[in-house]
Amino acid sequence: MFVTLEGPEGSGKTSQGDALGTVLSAYVPILLTREPGGTELGERVRDILLGFGGPALDPVTQLLLLSAARAQHVREVLRPAIAEGRSVLCVRYADSSRAYQGGGDGVAEAVIEAAIAIATDGLEPDLTIYLDLDPVVGLRRRAMAGTEGAQEGWNRFDARELAFHQRVREAYKRLARACPGRVVTVDADRPFEAVRADILEIVLSRIAVIVRGGAS
């Protein structure tokens, strides 16, 4: 099973992914990964895109860099893991390009979908958990985390204007409406444990459906 976690800054994707990975790893072999990242190239692209010291990048350039990193991630890590029978949990994937470069920066949908098609080679998640959160709340959480450690610190996307983050959220909501079978929305403006319990229930019920259906 290939599961992605999506959502705006500060919605807790990484911590929730870690928590879910810990529970699931007791039952199935799990690979926990993220985008941009997951490969050496992905981590380098991450530095270029997110670091404040990096070059100015047009949104189409961002899309292509993210897509190059995704192409490598799919071929080097995701497909081999799935072929070995492992379940994959990925924090951010193609929907982030739809939401950020598409919704946030207005790159044409046809361009976004073409880049995603090339990068993913048709590898779609079985399930996407969308952690929905008002960007005002998310950015406040992120700002507070930034004071505690550089790892969770502010990045170039976080620093974009509020209207950008609101467009990103609207794009995620449209996606969730357009793909109700794949994308499940979880209200992330609640205590960590409540969100964690919801995510676990959704994932376990999806596994039960797959097992009943006889799929792998």
Q: CB of residue 157 vs ligand TYD: minimum separation in angstroms?
A: 3
From residue 47, alpha-carbon distances to 35, 40, 62, 69, 90 in Å are 12, 11, 12, 12, 18
Binding to ligand TYD, residues 61-80 (CB under 6 A): 66
From 75-83, 94-102, 107-115, 119-127, span contacting ligand TYD (CB under 6 A)? 94-102
* One residue of 23, 41, 48, 50 binding ligand TYD per CB under 6 A: 50
DSSP element (H, E) containing 6: strand 2-6
Contact between 36 and ligand TYD per CB under 6 A: yes
Tell me how far apart the alpha carbons of residues 149 and 170 are, in angstroms, rounded to a whole number.
29
Q: Token pair for residue 11?
A: 């919605």
Binding to ligand TYD, residues 112-171 (CB under 6 A): 155, 157
Contact between 97 and ligand TYD per CB under 6 A: yes
Q: CB of residue 101 vs ligand TYD: minimum separation in angstroms?
A: 6
In this structure, how many other beta carbons lie within 10 angstroms of the beta carbon of residue 111? 15
From 8-16, 76-84, 176-184, 206-214, span contacting ligand TYD (CB under 6 A)? 8-16
Contact between 4 and ligand TYD per CB under 6 A: no
Structural contact between residues 168 and 134, judged by C-beta atoms closer than 8 angstroms: no
In this structure, how many other beta carbons lie within 10 angstroms of the beta carbon of residue 26? 7
- Cβ-Cβ contacts under 8 Å for 173 (sequence gap 6 or more): 132, 185
Contact between 13 and ligand TYD per CB under 6 A: yes
Contact between 2 and ligand TYD per CB under 6 A: no
* Count of residues in contact with ligand TYD, rule CB under 6 A: 14
Q: What share of the chain is helix, strand, coil (3-state, %, to 5)?
A: 60, 10, 30
State which residue, 62 or 207, has the beta carbon closest to ligand TYD.
62
> Which parts of this chain interact with ligand TYD (CB under 6 A)?
9, 13-14, 35-36, 50, 66, 92, 96-97, 100-101, 155, 157
